[in-house]
A and B are shown apart, each in its own frame.
Chain A
Amino acid sequence: MAVPAVDRAGPPAKISAKAVTRTFGVGSEALHALGPVDLDIAEGEFICLVGPSGCGKSTFVRLVAGLLPPTEGQLRVRIRGASAAPIATVFQDFGIFPWKTVEANVRFALTANGVPKREGRERARQWLARLGLADFGDAYPDTLSGGMRQRVAIARALATEPEILLMDEPFASLDAQMRQMLQEDLLRLSQTTRPTVVFVTHSLEEALILGDRVIVMSGRPGRVLDETVVPFPRPRSTLVRESAEFGALRGRLWGHLKNEVEAQMAAQSGGEMRSLA
């Protein structure tokens, strides 16, 4: 099922990574976290990145967001519109500000990018309503549950109407039910507005439910190990997880991932695993 570097004679890629690497620190302290990575992401595509912890998934997201520069190689991000904030990011923690009310959090993203105050308030309210947060505009984030807080983060990201939506393990700290609710929210919203999405997760199931394509990455330094096109048609719901095909895909992807996780465990425990095996 692996699709070798998909044929892209048509439109140029939205995001295109060419031999991108990232190293943290210098000299003997240097940590090679990512790459080299070659990856093309098409306009409107929903990409899920999975891989063992520390494989540079989050680093890749930060490179696309422009929060970090690559150490080597080049990353091209093609923006069409005139929007001041064409890329929005949803983080796992610290994404929303506890000192601002829910509405002020969403509004801040808009007014910081030149949206007039009144329009900002209007759009903030609309997006909060779309995520079922209409009654919580005046609440402070710390009074909400983790799931509600991540909804605020999603509302804030989507309110800027981004061309590219980056999500760095946004549901990782939620419980299973909450996670499923938010997956449904995200499916519904991304299938209507169709931004290009890069979604980092450590859950294969989540990747298969949400993504058009799942990229399995190797352990550190992270490289692309496998690309799988997800065959489920859109609009899609979280019910796809019930199908037999879903189970088969999940098993196949786990086959790739398992080796990486095992290798990582072995490396961490100084080869203990290997001597036992």
Chain B
Amino acid sequence: MKTRQAVTRQAERLYVRKPVCTPREAAARARRTRFLQVALAVGVPVALLLLWQMAAASGWIDRRLFPAPTTIARTAWDLIAAGELWTDVLATLRRVVLGFAIGGLVGFLAGAVTGLSRLARSALEPMLSALYVVPKLALLPVFITIAGLGEPPVIVMVSWTVFFYIWIYTMEAFTQIPEGYREAARSLNVGRRAMFRHVLLPAALPHLFVAMRVAISVAILVIVAAEFVVGTTGLGYVIFDSRRLFMNDRMYVGIVTVALLGVILATMITWIGRRLTPWAEQGRPRV
């Protein structure tokens, strides 16, 4: 009996939890990780550019199709020096800004009305949702027919696109405002105008800036295509005209400039948004 007990008794075990490294080692490791992240973020694009440069210089790829980055940079410099690029940048910028302003304003008004009134939503939402799924570019011929050639159809095209994005996001933003905020405001005897100005608008504002960031990118997408179809100026025209004339270095200059324009406009919207909604955490709208 005694021996059996000794055998079946479980062996005592001790679990020791202790640090795996010193605080200094942990700090060093965190620094290394951070350095690696930055190095990768910068290094990978630079490496790809270098690879492209080498490939073009040594003739691995067709230089006429893929001119070396240095060639593109030189062409860009020449175009800027000749003042040619600015004309097209300004033409595109003007169309985007005008179209964005018109489409954004109408979209905001439509979004506010449909977001705040159930009846307006019933009246307008099905129709607008149906129009929303029509491919925007398919309507360009319609706009040309209505608005004639030149600037108007392109601006209408951009407005049309921006309108839908801003409208849908604005409507969502207003319908999602928690009832609690309205209740709190009503318990303070707040009138309709003050309710909009002090409660509904600020509650929706962070979402509206998200909408504008999305809309500006789509506006750029659309403007390039529209300028290809109807333009005689603008970056979209530069890109497609260069391709037609087989000036591929100029084509890449156009592409890079459009990308830069998009980044700059989106960054501006983000910056203004941060200034106007200081209570919202960075990049994360909250209502």
Assess the B189–A84 pair: CB atoms within 8 A.
yes
Assess the A97–B202 pair: CB atoms within 8 A.
yes
**Chain A binding surface SS class:** loop
A-B contact pairs, 15 of them (CB 8 A): A67-B186, A93-B178, A94-B180, A97-B184, A97-B199, A98-B286, A99-B202, A99-B203, A99-B277, A100-B198, A109-B188, A112-B194, A113-B189, A140-B278, A140-B279
CB distance from A233 to the nearest CB of B (A): 32
> Of all chain B residues, which has the CB nearest A87?
B187
Cα-based distance from A98 to B184 in the complex (angstroms): 12
**With A99-B277, A142-B279 known to touch, is A94 a contact of B188 (CB < 8 Å)?**
no
Given contacts A94-B178, A112-B194, could you give 5 more A-B pairs where the C-beta distance is less than 8 Å?
Answer: A84-B189, A85-B188, A100-B198, A108-B198, A140-B278
Assess the B180–A95 pair: CB atoms within 8 A.
yes
**With A84-B189, A112-B194, A140-B278 known to touch, is A89 a contact of B205 (CB < 8 Å)?**
no
Chain B residues in 8 Å Cβ range of A99: 202-203, 205, 277, 279
B-to-A contact residues, CB < 8 Å:
178, 180-181, 183-184, 186-191, 194, 198-199, 202-203, 205, 277-279, 281, 286
Chain A residues in 8 Å Cβ range of B281: 142
CB distance from A242 to the nearest CB of B (A): 36
Chain A residues in 8 Å Cβ range of B191: 112
CB distance from A4 to the nearest CB of B (A): 33
Chain B residues in 8 Å Cβ range of A136: none
What interface size band does chain A fall in?
20 to 34
Which residues of A (69-118) have their CB < 8 Å from a CB of B? 84-85, 87-89, 91, 93-100, 108-109, 112-113
Looking at A91, A96, A97, A160, the one whose CB has the most chain B CB atoms below 10 A away is: A97
> Of all chain B residues, which has the CB nearest A99?
B202
A-to-B contact residues, CB < 8 Å:
62, 65, 67, 84-85, 87-89, 91, 93-100, 108-109, 112-113, 140-142, 160
**With A97-B202, A99-B202, A108-B198 known to touch, is A89 a contact of B184 (CB < 8 Å)?**
yes
Assess the A89–B279 pair: CB atoms within 8 A.
no
Q: Which of A87, A91, A140 contacts B183 (CB 8 A)?
A: A91
Chain B residues in 8 Å Cβ range of A93: 178, 180
Assess the A94–B181 pair: CB atoms within 8 A.
yes
Cα-based distance from A160 to B178 in the complex (angstroms): 24
Cα-based distance from A142 to B190 in the complex (angstroms): 23
CB distance from B69 to the nearest CB of A (A): 46
Chain A residues in 8 Å Cβ range of B190: 112
Cα-based distance from A88 to B190 in the complex (angstroms): 12
Cα-based distance from A140 to B202 in the complex (angstroms): 14
CB distance from B243 to the nearest CB of A (A): 48
Chain B residues in 8 Å Cβ range of A140: 278-279
Cα-based distance from A83 to B224 in the complex (angstroms): 61
Assess the A97–B198 pair: CB atoms within 8 A.
yes
Chain B residues in 8 Å Cβ range of A160: 188
Cα-based distance from A120 to B3 in the complex (angstroms): 87
CB distance from B40 to the nearest CB of A (A): 34
Cα-based distance from A79 to B230 in the complex (angstroms): 70
Looking at A91, A94, A98, the one whose CB has the most chain B CB atoms below 10 A away is: A94
Cα-based distance from A99 to B202 in the complex (angstroms): 6
> Of all chain A residues, which has the CB nearest B205?
A99
Cα-based distance from A123 to B178 in the complex (angstroms): 29
Cα-based distance from A41 to B203 in the complex (angstroms): 36
A-B pairs, 4 with minimum CB distance: A94-B180, A99-B202, A89-B187, A140-B279
